[in-house]
DNA sequence: GTAGGGTTAG
């Protein structure tokens, strides 16, 4: 029986194919059917049917049409068969710019950026001029390779053409610079754009967040507003929300949340979860939970977000309870979920639980163990003080331990004051993360805690000799929607005098409560009294000082720090929480410290 | 007649 157009549209792909193979059909209908079926194969990622279609096209001569041949290349690309895509392309006697585009996009879609770039060169050698579509695809290919020099060399010959004026090309170029880490080119390209649309702005925001310049990302929001730019996409808002979370800028975050609601943008699960994470990163667990409860269609990411929200904020038991309810409700935890669960276990001291999950993850759940899981296991052993076991474990891991895992051990060695293992752990971190200053400071502290001043000095000299600079301690505090930054040793602030007076006043009370400044934390060669002064100028203390004078009594003080909080500041902040009857939340590079009535949620282990 | 941009949530 002959097919009708109606059949071709309605019947399953395989039935149409079978009918076409069984008996000849009018060429017009075959052509039409082939085109439609190619489209359906591509949409359904149905590779076997694509192969059958290919055969049919050969048999019926449909493949002689360059148009249909291009469509077949496209379908193969979408079905993940680049080889077949290339084979079809190679049979074309006279490929046009579309043909090349299909081939290039097949490579891109299947993570073969180098091949895409090779075809780009080949097309030019064969005299086919790339258009804006091809060029934007090629910028994506360069972005995938993260090769900035390559990007520059490909862009240079295009600079004199009108190509870069195309808005899509310009945005792809911008994103290429971002993903290749060429942040100067990135900024320059952005400001040189003749016009910027929402994609340009979002790319810009993401770029600044990516390199830790969240504050300047939020400044862009002001520029956008001044330009009268209307944000219409949830993605743009999610990016901005992310910046607020990273800065723990709760007032700006809340303001943004209101604005999202009034903007009428559809708050999809992604944006909703971004907001949840923002509150969590601002230490507002209750508000995060509120959003979690309001989630219309939660998924495993929503659950995992809330699990880690609890865990990072010191609510380890709640994190585990939520995880159990997640499983009960039938949501399927994945590898990332278990990273959070193990984190909650190890920080909360649930050793048996942790080992249970760690050992059953692969055999019972089929979730492969990854570096993060091993890191948690190391942390677990090290926290319990089983440093030698932790070291043995690291040396016998089936995947080579990363610098983070060795750092866990090194940190544990500081807490448990183990010089020998600490020195070995530090060596590993030096090797695996040669530019990090953290391990040098930790090792030096371990030595000075043990009274080995000469060794401590040696480590510091080694650090200097290797040209490694300690990132200056920075702290942020947001007051009335404005973020103030304090940098250790360079803290200019209009209220500095008042802040220092407040710190001195409070420290008197603190000393009455038994606080002794831990001047060992000051590595300079200085008098004791001077060392105390240096401690007072640690950025987190200044930030707390500002919080004390600028916010009403009993208001929670929230600080963000760019490195780990120093042990003296940690002790001091705990005492301040007691003597001033304020909650103090410090988010450092690793975790939250919720301090209240002289105690910290981290249980003095960080 | 075919094709190109922000991977955004743990």
Strand B bases with any atom < 7 A from protein Cβ: 1-10
List the structure tokens of A415: 């807490």
CA of residue A17 to C1' of nucleotide B6, angstroms: 39
pLDDT reading at A393 higher than 70: yes
Strand B contacted by A233 CB (< 7 A): yes
User: Is a pLDDT exceeding 70 seen at residue A542?
Assistant: yes
- Judged against a pLDDT cut of 60, whether residue A523 lies above it is answered with no
- The β-bridge relationship of strands A599-600 and A592-596 is antiparallel
Write out the two tokens for A502: 């407040």
Structure confidence by residue, pLDDT tens digits, A275-312: 999 999 999 999 999 999 999 999 999 999 999 999 99
Q: How far apart are CA A83 and CA A112, in angstroms?
A: 11
What is the Cα gyration radius of chain A? 30
**The pLDDT value given to residue A563:** 82
pLDDT tens track for A136-195: 999 999 999 999 999 999 999 999 899 999 999 999 999 999 999 999 999 999 999 989
Phi, psi of A477 (to 5 degrees): -140, 140
The larger pLDDT score, comparing residue A482 to residue A490, is at A482
- Whether the predicted pLDDT of A2 surpasses 70: yes
pLDDT value of residue A505: 86
Residue range A453-474, pLDDT digits in tens: 999 999 999 899 888 887 777 8
* Gap between the Cα atoms of A495 and A546, Å rounded: 8
Which amino acid residue lies closest to nucleotide B10, measuring CA to C1'?
Answer: A305
CA–C1' distance A476–B5 (Å)?
35
Cα–Cα distance, A175 to A546 (Å, whole number): 39
In angstroms, the CA of A586 and the C1' of B6 are apart by 33
**Contact call for residues A304 and A336 (beta carbons, < 8 A):** yes
| Nucleic acid strand B within 7 Å of A187 CB | no
How much is the pLDDT for A73? 97
**CA A201 / C1′ B5 distance in Å:** 12
3-state secondary structure at position A283: coil
Q: Which residue is nearest to nucleotide B7 (CA to C1')?
A: A235
Question: Which two structure tokens, joined as six digits, stand for A177?
Answer: 């610079």
A452 by DSSP, 3-state: which? Answer: coil
Is A256 within 8 Å of A241 (Cβ atoms)?
yes
| B4: residue with closest CA to C1' | A133
A168 Cβ nearer than 7 Å to chain B strand: yes
- Predicted confidence (pLDDT) at residue A67 exceeds the cutoff of 80: yes
């Amino acid at each position: 029986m002959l097919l009708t157009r109606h059949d071709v549209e309605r019947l399953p792909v395989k039935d149409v194919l079978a009918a076409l193979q069984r008996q000849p059909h009018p060429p017009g209908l075959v052509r039409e059917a082939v085109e439609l079926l190619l489209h359906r194969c591509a949409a359904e990622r149905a590779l076997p049917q694509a192969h059958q279609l290919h055969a049919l096209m050969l048999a019926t001569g449909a493949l002689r049409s360059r148009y249909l041949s291009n469509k077949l290349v496209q379908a193969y690309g979408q079905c993940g068969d680049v080889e077949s895509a290339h084979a079809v392309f190679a049979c074309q006697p006279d490929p046009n710019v579309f043909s090349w585009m299909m081939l290039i996009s097949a490579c891109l879609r299947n993570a073969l950026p180098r091949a895409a770039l090779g075809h780009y060169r080949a097309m030019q050698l064969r005299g086919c001029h790339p258009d804006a579509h091809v060029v934007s695809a090629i910028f994506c290919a360069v972005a995938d390779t993260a090769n900035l020099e390559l990007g520059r060399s490909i862009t240079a010959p295009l600079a004199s053409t009108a190509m870069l004026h195309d808005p899509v090309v310009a945005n792809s170029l911008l994103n290429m610079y971002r993903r290749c880490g060429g942040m100067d080119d990135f900024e320059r390209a952005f400001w040189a754009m003749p016009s910027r649309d929402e994609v340009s702005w979002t790319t810009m925001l993401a770029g600044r967040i990516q390199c830790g310049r969240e504050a300047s990302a939020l400044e862009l929001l002001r520029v956008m507003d001044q330009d009268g730019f209307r944000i219409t996409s949830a993605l743009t808002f999610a990016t901005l929300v992310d910046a607020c979370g990273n800065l723990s800028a709760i007032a700006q975050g809340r303001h943004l949340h209101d604005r999202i609601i009034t903007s009428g943008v559809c708050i999809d699960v992604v944006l909703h979860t971004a907001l949840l994470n923002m509150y969590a990163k601002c230490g507002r667990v209750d508000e995060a939970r509120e959003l979690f409860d309001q989630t219309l269609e939660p998924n495993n990411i929503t659950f995992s977000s809330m699990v880690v929200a609890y865990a990072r904020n010191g609510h380890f038991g709640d994190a585990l309870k939520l995880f159990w309810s997640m499983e009960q409700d039938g949501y399927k935890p994945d590898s990332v979920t278990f990273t959070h669960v193990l984190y909650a276990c190890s920080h909360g001291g649930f050793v048996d639980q942790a080992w249970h999950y760690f050992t059953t993850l692969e055999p019972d759940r089929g979730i492969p163990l990854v570096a993060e899981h091993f890191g948690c296991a190391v942390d677990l052993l090290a926290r319990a003080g089983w440093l030698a076991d932790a070291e043995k474990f690291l040396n016998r891991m089936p995947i080579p331990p990363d610098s983070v895992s060795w750092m866990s051990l090194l940190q544990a060695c500081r807490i448990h004051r183990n010089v020998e293992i600490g020195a070995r752990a530090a060596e590993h971190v030096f090797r695996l993360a040669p530019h990090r200053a953290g391990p040098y400071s930790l090792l030096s502290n371990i030595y000075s805690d043990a009274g080995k001043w000469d060794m401590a000095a040696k480590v510091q000299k080694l650090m200097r000799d290797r040209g490694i600079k300690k990132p200056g301690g920075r702290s942020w505090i947001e007051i009335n929607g404005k973020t103030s930054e304090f940098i250790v040793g360079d803290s200019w602030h209009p209220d500095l005098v008042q802040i220092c007076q407040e710190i001195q006043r409070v420290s008197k009370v603190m000393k009455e409560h038994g606080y002794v400044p831990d001047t060992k934390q000051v590595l300079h060669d200085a008098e004791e009294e001077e060392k105390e002064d240096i401690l007072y100028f640690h950025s987190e203390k200044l930030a707390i000082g500002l919080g004390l004078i600028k916010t009403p009594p009993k208001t929670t003080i929230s600080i963000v720090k760019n490195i780990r909080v120093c042990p003296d500041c940690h002790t001091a902040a705990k005492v301040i929480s007691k003597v001033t009857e304020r909650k103090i939340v410090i988010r450092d590079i690793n975790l939250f410290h919720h301090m209240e009535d002289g105690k910290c949620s981290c249980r003095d282990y960080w």
